[in-house]
């Protein structure tokens, strides 16, 4: 009889709420061992229980030592990593003139540099498993929006990073998938000023379902870019 296949493992950043939490629960349902990473340890533990995830990893992607420790823990506990989901993100919608140095550093540091950092650390494990790198980018990585210069810069940067890495790794078995959701009703919007009709937004579960569908394709097939928006049109 053939040897049983090892259970695949997924790591999701920004896994304590919204799209990350919905995707964690979905991947557990799909048979993955799932680790979620986030900055708030208490929220992360509660989310892990809710999603039935295997491991909660408190870490700030802007902290190189914390990222190193998280990947080392994945390797120690699971011995493999099949999917890395770059989902963690920060955003403030401000005119350029009102965007502070701290605002810029927070968004670029988390959304772009943080994604680069954990991808680099995780890459040997992903290549060994011939797995997938899934980047939850946002339509703000495809189109500029007024009062969003720092956020758009971080998301355009992540798109460029992912597209370049995809070409760099062609033929090595790692699939790089970029997902561009439109406005999605998550806690992200709790701190965004303005009037938003959140009933018209996508649900986090909608985005998670699209991501899971892309990941379920056979290894020789690749959805490179997937755009999903509210059926009623952009807000």
Q: What is the pLDDT of residue 46?
A: 98
Q: Give tens-digit pLDDT for 4-13.
A: 678 999 999 9
How many domains are there within the chain?
Answer: 1
The token duo for 55 is: 């491991």
Other CB atoms within a 10 A radius of the CB of residue 132 amount to: 23
User: 95-129, pLDDT tens digit by residue?
Assistant: 999 999 999 999 999 999 999 999 999 999 999 99
**What is the domain-level CATH number for residue 114?**
3.40.50.720
Q: Which tokens hold the place of 159?
A: 């798109």
Asked if residue 2 is part of any domain, the answer here is no
Q: Is the residue at 3 inside a domain?
A: no
Structural domain harbouring 203: 9-228
Instruction: List all residues 6 or more positions away from 147 whose beta carbon is below 8 Å from its beta carbon.
Output: 93, 94, 95
Question: Is position 133 within any domain?
Answer: yes
The pLDDT value recorded for residue 5 is: 73
Given a cut of 90, whether residue 2 has pLDDT beyond it is no
Write out the catalytic residue numbers.
151
Residue 4 lies in a domain: no
Highest mean pLDDT among 161-165, 200-204, 217-221, 227-231: 161-165
Residue 43 lies in a domain: yes
pTM of the model: 0.94
Give the tens place of pLDDT for each residue, 12-34: 999 999 999 999 999 999 999 99
Count CB neighbours of 85 within 10 A. Answer: 29
């Amino acid at each position: 009889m053939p040897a049983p296949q090892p259970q695949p493992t997924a790591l999701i950043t920004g896994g304590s709420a919204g799209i990350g939490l919905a995707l964690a629960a979905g991947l557990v349902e799909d048979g993955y061992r799932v680790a979620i990473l986030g900055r708030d340890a208490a929220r992360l533990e509660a989310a892990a229980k809710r999603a039935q995830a295997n491991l909660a990893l408190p870490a700030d992607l802007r902290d190189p030592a914390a990222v190193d420790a998280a990947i080392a823990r994945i390797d120690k506990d699971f011995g493999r990593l099949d999917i890395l989901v770059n989902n963690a993100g920060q955003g403030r919608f401000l005119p350029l003139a009102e965007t502070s140095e701290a605002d810029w550093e927070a968004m670029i540091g988390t959304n772009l540099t943080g994604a680069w950092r954990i991808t680099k650390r995780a890459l040997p494990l992903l290549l060994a498993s011939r797995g997938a790198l899934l980047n939850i980018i946002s339509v703000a990585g495809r189109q500029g929006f007024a009062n969003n210069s720092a956020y758009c810069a971080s998301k355009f940067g992540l798109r460029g990073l992912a597209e370049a890495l995809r070409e760099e790794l062609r033929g090595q078995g790692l699939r790089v998938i970029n997902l561009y959701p439109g406005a999605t009703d998550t806690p992200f919007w709790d701190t965004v000023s303005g009037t938003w009709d959140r009933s018209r937004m996508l649900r986090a579960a909608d985005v998670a379902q699209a991501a899971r569908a892309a990941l379920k394709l056979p290894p020789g097939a690749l959805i490179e870019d997937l755009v999903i928006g509210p059926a009623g049109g952009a807000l």
